[in-house]
Structure 1
Amino acid sequence: MIKTAFIGVGYRGMQLLQLLRCISGFRVVAVADPALTDIGMPDVCCYNSGEDDYLNMLDEQHPDLVFVASPWQCHVQHALHCVEHGADVALEIKGGLYLDEYRPLIECARRAGRKVYPLENTLFIRENLSVYTLVRAGLLGEIVYMRGGYRHDLRRLLLDDDGTLGNRDKTESVWRSRFYQEENGDLYPTHGLAPLCLIAGIGRTDRFKSLTSFASKPAGLLQRIRDLGGPSDQKITMGDVVVTQLQTEKGILVTLTHDTTLPRPRSLDFEIQGTKGIWQGDRRQIYIEGYSPNETWESDESYISRYEHRYWQQWGQEALRVDTHHQGMDYVMLKALQEDLNGGETYPADITDLALWTSVTPWSKLSIAERRTIYLNDNN
Structure 2
Amino acid sequence: MSYPSRRTVLGGAIAATAVVAGGAVLSPASAAPARRPGQKSMVGVPFEAVDTVRVGVIGLGNRGMGMLGGWAAVPGCTVAAVCDIRAPRAKTAADRIAAAGKPRPAEYGGSSSSYQEMLSRENLDLVYIATPWEFHYAQGKAALLAGAHVGVELPIATELDELWDLVDTSERTRRHLWLMENCSYGRNELAMLKMAHEGVFGDVTNGHGGYLHDLRELLFSDTYYTDAWRRKWHTRSIASFYPMHGLAPIAAAMDINRGDRMLTLQATATAPRGLADYRERHVPRDHPSWQEEYINGDLITCMISTQQGRVIRAEHDVSSPRPYSRINSLAGSRGIMEDYVPVGAAGARVYLEPDHSGHSWRDFTSYRDEFDHWLWKTVGSQPNPGGHGGMDYILQWRVIQQMRAGLVPDIDVYDGAVWCSPVPLSVQSLDNGGRPVRVPDFTRGRWAHKRPGLDSRQSEMPPVA
- Do the two structures share a fold, i.e. TM-score over 0.5? yes
CA positional deviation for 1:169: 2.4
Q: Distance in 1 between matches of 2:181 and 2:436?
A: 25
| SS at 2:389 equivalent | coil
For residues 155 and 251 of structure 1, the distance between their equivalents in structure 2, rounded to whole angstroms, comes to 37
Residue 165 of structure 1 corresponds to: none
Indicate whether 1:7 and 2:7 are aligned. no
**What is the alpha-carbon distance in structure 2 between the residues aligned to residue 378 and residue 14 of structure 1?**
34
Kept in 2, the 8 Å contact 1:117–1:337? The answer is no
Contact 1:222 1:234 in 2 (8 A): no
| Counterparts of 1:34 and 1:73, CA distance in 2 | 14
Q: For residues 142 and 233 of structure 2, what CA distance do their matches in structure 1 show?
A: 25
Counterpart residue identity of residue 72, structure 2 = R
Cross-structure match for 1:341 = 403
Give the distance between the partners of 1:270 and 1:24, measured in 2 at CA: 31
Residue 204 of structure 1, CA deviation: 2.0
1:345 to partner: Cα distance? 4.6
Following the alignment from structure 1 to structure 2, what is the Cα–Cα distance between the partners of residues 198 and 378? Answer: 17
Aligned runs of 1:12-161 on 2, under 5 Å? 12-37=63-88, 38-39=91-92, 40-41=95-96, 42=98, 43-160=104-221
* Distance in 2, Cα, partners of 1:11 & 1:354: 22
| Distance in 1 between residues matched to 2:354 and 2:362, nearest whole Å | 13
Runs of 4+ in 1 over 3 A off after TM superposition: 229-234
Deviations 1:296-324 (A, max 9, x none): 211111111101111112211126x422x
Q: What amino acid does structure 1 have at the position aligned with 2:370?
A: R
Which residue of 1 is the match for residue 324 of structure 2?
266
- For the residues of structure 2 that align with 1:87 and 1:345, how far apart are their CA atoms? 16
- Alignment RMSD (CA, Å): 1.8
Q: Secondary structure at the match of 1:327?
A: helix
* Local SS of the residue matching 2:151: strand
Residue 431 of structure 2: aligned partner? 369
Unaligned runs of 5+ in 1: 161-167
> 1:139-288 maps to which residues of 2 (within 5 A)?
139-160=200-221, 168-172=222-226, 174-231=228-285, 234-283=292-341, 284-288=348-352
What is the aligned length?
370
Q: Does 1:326 align with 2:388?
A: yes
Letter in 2 for 1:352: Y
SS in 2 for 1:250: coil
Question: Which of the numbers 344, 362, 365 marks the counterpart of 1:301?
Answer: 365
CA 1:191–1:172: 2 relative to 1, 3 Å: farther
SS of alignment partner, residue 66 of structure 1: strand
Which amino acid in the other structure matches residue 131 of structure 1?
M
- 2: distance between equivalents of 1:101 and 1:175? 20
Contact 2:87 2:110 in 1 (8 A): no
Distance apart, 1:378 and its partner CA: 8.7
Cα deviations across residues 114-171 of structure 1 (Å, max 9, x unaligned)?
A: 11132000100011101111111101001111000100011112113xxxxxxx2252
Alpha-carbon distance, 1:236 to partner: 0.9
Query: Hey, what's the Cα distance between the residues in 2 that align with 1:249 and 1:280?
Result: 24
Partners of 2:301 and 2:262 in 1: CA distance: 16
Higher relative contact order (CA 8 A, sep 6+): 2
Distance 1:173 1:238, change over 3 A: farther
Shift of 1:377: 5.6
Distance in 2, matches of 1:18 and 1:50, equals 25
Give the whole-Å Cα distance in 2 for the aligned partners of 1:300 and 1:239: 33
In 2: Cα distance, 1:114 partner to 1:328 partner: 28
Match of 1:315 in 2: 379
Do 1:158 and 1:173's aligned partners in 2 also have CA atoms closer than 8 Å?
no
Post-superposition shift, 1:46? 1.1
Deviations 1:247-283 (A, max 9, x none): 1111111111111101111110111000001001112
TM-score by length of 1: 0.93
- Counterpart-to-counterpart distance in 1, 2:439 and 2:425: 12
Whole-angstrom CA distance in 2 between matches of 1:146 and 1:375: 19
Bigger Cα displacement from structure 2, 37-46 vs 242-251: 37-46
* Residue matched to 1:163: none
SS in 1 for 2:116: helix
Q: Closer, same or farther in 2 for the Cα pair 1:52/1:173, shift >3 Å?
A: closer
SS at 1:201 equivalent? coil
Letter aligned with residue 375 of structure 1: V
Asked whether the 8 Å contact 1:2–1:64 carries over to 2, the reply is yes
Q: Unaligned stretches of 5+ in structure 2?
A: 1-51, 99-103, 342-347, 442-465
Instruction: Provide closer, same or farther for how the CA distance between residues 377 and 50 of structure 1 changes in structure 2, counting only shifts above 3 A.
Output: closer
Q: Which of these residues, 409, 414, 430, is aligned with residue 352 of structure 1?
A: 414
- Greater shift after overlay, 236-245 or 362-371? 362-371
SS of residue paired to 1:240: coil
- Alpha-carbon displacement from aligned partner over 1:189-224 (angstroms, at most 9, x marks no partner): 211111111100112211122211111111111111
Measure the CA separation in 1 of the matches of 2:373 and 2:130: 27
